[in-house]
């Protein structure tokens, strides 16, 4: 899409040299053929060093845009980014000319659906009612149980087991909101990647990234009915019990254990080798390892036990 | 069904003029060809003004039934209502003579199932494994992702996106129980209605109403793995984060925001423009607007923070 | 599989008389053609009386193995049990020679999938996108809504209703872990059994047992988005509201009521006729009946109310 057309679409002034914009991306990751945006004060620091071809921003940020990069000045940058995101969203399915590839030894149920451009490796099972989207890949020796949905462009590694009803790569929960209380969808251009040797239970929801990838790393284990929001990362060998949930963009180090019905807020990180009791709600980044936490807001498990004991005594 | 046959079915005395009963309904909404019931003392006030043809009730309520309305006196009115509800439940699917209608420009996967009598508007996508029941309607420009299930007679508006694995219109959690601990299903005669411009995440459960409609209003946004019970109403532009849940018959005003893993008890209402933190559990009707709440039982967020600080100090 | 081959597989010394091992089982339930294991000190007491043909155990337990039973001594018995479990896992689906049986009056959608060896009783409905695995049985007069998945060898009774998107019999969340933080899957040889007159909501996850059965007894009612882990048992007429969850091997007596978003930890039992408020988290076995509990950790509801009142006063 031409930069000039994008400017027209969002009502921004533009009189520079026109270029073809290939995609949307973050300030940090955008290449010089990509468009970026600033919608949150905490990312203004990334403007000056961005390689983006253009940046959608408010007037006060415009002067920080580096030379060679175009500032598209608008009143509501996040809303306008949402408007533009729709233009870069891929088709729901590719057209029939895109070949489906199924490796030797794999068994694909005639009642499964491999969309045009889907690829399945060797010795895998794709069972009835499973859906593998365009550009999506399932590796070798993996089992995709009935009615699993893998959205387009997502990747399932080798030796994975995905139980029935799980959804990998639906759009994350992202939208811009205006003063009238209306919401404009952020189309999600990224994907979700499940690395090798991962087992995921039934009815789990793993959203695709806005840009880049939501990642479940090698050897992780997820139980049933778990929420993994856009742009999360679950470290190698980490374990999530049933009904636990992660808000967006949180990064979990290797070999953490999250108990049932636990949760973690968005944009946090957790160092490796911690344990979180059932119902624990993580509200801050954790830089220590080897600890056990509980409660909401979370605290060390021992402290939580003390507080519970104290509470019991209060009413005696 | 003849009123006399209903009386026989539930063991109630009946010697009035017989009439054809067309459906079951609440005391307030029943027309003079419909049957109603009183199973809860708080609805006795609605008996005298009901237009119902007949009311299933206990002996002590019978004298309040208005003239022209038949009192069907039984020992366990709720159980007997459940017995009768089965007789008014529609067929699981209509017969093949009911036409399927698909509007211009819509793409329906051959692996989707449109039951007899289902209707799809223009330029919509119904993807593989999706199920649209008899009498159900999907509007224009909507996307129904793989393996979504829309039960019979439910409605999805225009410009909606329903992500994979979501279920719209399953029977709500309703049953009568007797002294032996047995449960008798209340067949749900109502439906679920998703208005225009609504996006719903993956693996969400939205139940149909007992009578009338469960309603998700225009512009609402629901994340993944959310529970919306029978007869709930979610106001325009309201936002529910992942794993939140609503018990039956609660009414949420416009532009409320519910955090992840939050919940609201049944039969409550919430005024517009409030925010509920993650894990907040709403236990009372809220008549104020513009507030932020947290905790379970819920309270203003500031107060909740104070209590948490106090608790931390208790054990120092 | 020959015992000698199993010994080789897990690197255990073996020079006794070879026998054919037919399956894996618990110390208590293993027959003299089955293999068992000890991976947890609390089960050592069951070793001496086990009828198993052989037991995988650590060196210090070996001398307690009864005569006639072979001790397969390894460093990590649980990990090795996991290794062996894969050898006893049945095929994903039986081969096409296994007959599908559908009783008189049943309606099976051509878009449903009955795997080879599946059986459906009389007057049942199997709707589009539903999957009934090999050896799985659905009884009479039951409704299996669209996109329900019943894994192989599981049983659904008579007069059951299973709503859309529910998964019965996926593998439970079981694995052995080593010092490198790697996990080895425990293949689940057991099944899940839903007795007669059970209604289960949408998007529920009920896992199969490691050995034996996960059981939902007659007349139980489950709402939406509920987690039932491997080897749980839900008693007759018990009721679970939406988003509640059970960890593994917990046994719930008859006519308990669990509120929304409640939970129970693993390996506990609950006597009949108790009520658990929304969000209650049960952390110990309950031997009393007729009580109402709340809170996490759980306590009697009255006490919980007192504590909440006290907390409110603390910050006044």
pLDDT computed for residue B314 by the predictor: 83
Can you tell me the distance from the alpha carbon of C302 to that of C275, in angstroms, rounded to the nearest whole number? 13
User: Minimal Cα–Cα distance from A278 to chain C, Å?
Assistant: 9
Q: Distance from first CA to last CA of chain C, Å, rounded?
A: 70
pLDDT computed for residue B26 by the predictor: 95
Q: Would you state the structure tokens that stand for residue B149, as one six-digit string?
A: 């299930």
Tens-place pLDDT, residues A52-110? 999 999 999 999 999 999 999 999 999 999 999 999 999 999 999 999 999 999 999 99
Q: Where are the domains of chain A?
A: 3-88, 101-304
Residues shown for chain B: 316
User: Minimal Cα–Cα distance from C128 to chain B, Å?
Assistant: 7
Q: Is the pLDDT of residue A112 over 80?
A: yes
User: Minimal Cα–Cα distance from A300 to chain C, Å?
Assistant: 16
Q: What is the DSSP code (8-state) at residue B288? A: -
SS3 label, residue B170: strand
Those residues with Cβ within 8 angstroms of residue B80's Cβ, 6 or more apart along the chain or in another chain: B10, B11, B12, B37, B56, B72, B74
Least confident of A38-47, A233-242, C164-173: A38-47
Q: Which CATH architecture has domain C101-304?
A: 3 Solenoid (2.160)
Can you tell me the distance from the alpha carbon of B292 to that of B306, in angstroms, rounded to the nearest whole number? 14
In this prediction, the residues of chain B whose per-residue pLDDT falls under 70 are none
Tens-place pLDDT, residues C122-156? 999 999 999 999 999 999 999 999 999 999 999 99
Model confidence at A188, pLDDT cuts 50, 70, 90, reads very high
Residues of B within 8 A of A306 (CB-CB) are 315
Q: Least CB-CB distance to A227: which of B199, B243, B255?
A: B243
Which residue out of A113, A125, A163, A230 is catalytically annotated? A230
Can you tell me the distance from the alpha carbon of B272 to that of B234, in angstroms, rounded to the nearest whole number? 10
User: Is domain C3-88 classified as CATH 2.40.70.10?
Assistant: no
Chains touching chain C, criterion 3+ CB pairs below 8 Å: A, B
Q: Is the pLDDT of residue A313 over 90?
A: no
Tens-place pLDDT, residues B224-256? 999 999 999 999 999 999 999 999 999 999 999
SS3 label, residue B107: strand
In this prediction, the residues of chain C whose per-residue pLDDT falls under 70 are none
Can you tell me the distance from the alpha carbon of A216 to that of A219, in angstroms, rounded to the nearest whole number? 9
Do B164 and A170 lie within an 8 Å CB cutoff?
Answer: yes
Do C306 and A315 lie within an 8 Å CB cutoff?
Answer: yes
State how far Cα B289 lies from the chain centre.
Answer: 25
Backbone angles phi, psi at B36, to 5 degrees: -130, -170
State how far Cα B200 lies from the chain centre.
Answer: 16
ipTM of the complex: 0.97
Taking alpha carbons only, the member of B276, B285, B284 closest to residue B304 is: B276
Contact between C223 and C205 under an 8 Å Cβ cutoff? The reply is no
Residues of C within 8 A of A241 (CB-CB) are 173, 247
Active site includes C230?
yes
Can you tell me the distance from the alpha carbon of B252 to that of B243, in angstroms, rounded to the nearest whole number? 17
Those residues with Cβ within 8 angstroms of residue A227's Cβ, 6 or more apart along the chain or in another chain: A204, A205, A244, A245, A246, B223, B224, B225, B242, B243, B260
User: Minimal Cα–Cα distance from C135 to chain B, Å?
Assistant: 24
pLDDT computed for residue A15 by the predictor: 85
Those residues with Cβ within 8 angstroms of residue B113's Cβ, 6 or more apart along the chain or in another chain: B130, B131, B132, C109, C111, C128, C129, C146
Residues of A within 8 A of B314 (CB-CB) are 307, 310
Q: Is the pLDDT of residue A316 over 90?
A: no
Backbone conformation region of residue B245, classed left if phi is above 0, alpha if psi is from -120 to 50, else beta = beta
pLDDT computed for residue A53 by the predictor: 96
Using a CB–CB cut-off of 8 Å, the residues of B that contact A are 109, 111, 125, 127-129, 143, 145-147, 161, 163-165, 199, 201-203, 219, 221, 223-225, 236-237, 239, 241-243, 254-255, 260-261, 278-279, 308, 311-312, 314-315
Using a CB–CB cut-off of 8 Å, the residues of B that contact C are 92, 111, 113, 115, 129, 131, 147, 149, 151, 165-167, 170-171, 173, 175, 177, 181-183, 185, 203-205, 207, 225, 227, 229, 243, 245, 247, 261, 263, 265, 281, 296-297, 299, 303, 306-307, 310-311
């Amino acid at each position: 899409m031409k930069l000039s057309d994008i400017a027209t679409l969002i009502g921004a002034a533009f009189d520079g040299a026109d270029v073809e914009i290939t995609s949307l991306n973050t300030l940090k990751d955008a290449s010089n053929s990509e468009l970026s945006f600033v919608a949150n004060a905490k990312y203004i620091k990334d403007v000056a060093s961005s390689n983006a071809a253009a940046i959608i921003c408010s007037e006060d940020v415009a002067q920080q845009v580096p030379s060679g990069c175009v500032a598209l000045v608008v009143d509501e940058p996040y809303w306008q980014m949402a408007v533009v995101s729709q233009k870069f969203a891929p088709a729901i399915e590719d057209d029939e000319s895109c070949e489906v590839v199924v490796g030797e030894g794999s068994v694909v149920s005639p009642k499964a659906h491999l969309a045009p451009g889907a690829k399945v490796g060797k010795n895998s099972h794709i069972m009835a009612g499973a859906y593998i989207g365009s550009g999506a890949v399932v590796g070798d020796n993996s089992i995709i149980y009935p009615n699993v949905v893998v959205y387009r462009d997502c990747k399932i590694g080798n030796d994975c087991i995905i139980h029935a009803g799980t959804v990998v790569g639906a759009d994350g929960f992202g939208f811009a909101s205006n003063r009238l209380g209306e919401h404009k969808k952020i189309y999600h251009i990224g994907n979700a990647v499940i690395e090798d040797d991962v087992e995921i239970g039934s009815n789990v929801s793993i959203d695709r990234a806005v840009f880049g990838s939501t990642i479940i790393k090698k050897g992780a284990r997820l139980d049933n009915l778990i929420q993994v929001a856009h742009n999360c990362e679950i470290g190698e060998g980490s374990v999530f019990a049933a009904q636990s949930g992660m808000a967006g963009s949180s990064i979990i180090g290797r070999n953490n254990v999250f108990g049932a019905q636990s949760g973690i807020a968005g944009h946090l990180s957790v160092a490796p080798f911690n344990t979180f009791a059932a119902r624990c709600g993580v509200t801050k980044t954790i830089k220590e390892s080897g600890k056990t936490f509980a409660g909401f807001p979370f605290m060390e498990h021992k402290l939580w036990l003390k507080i519970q004991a104290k509470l019991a005594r209060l009413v005696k």
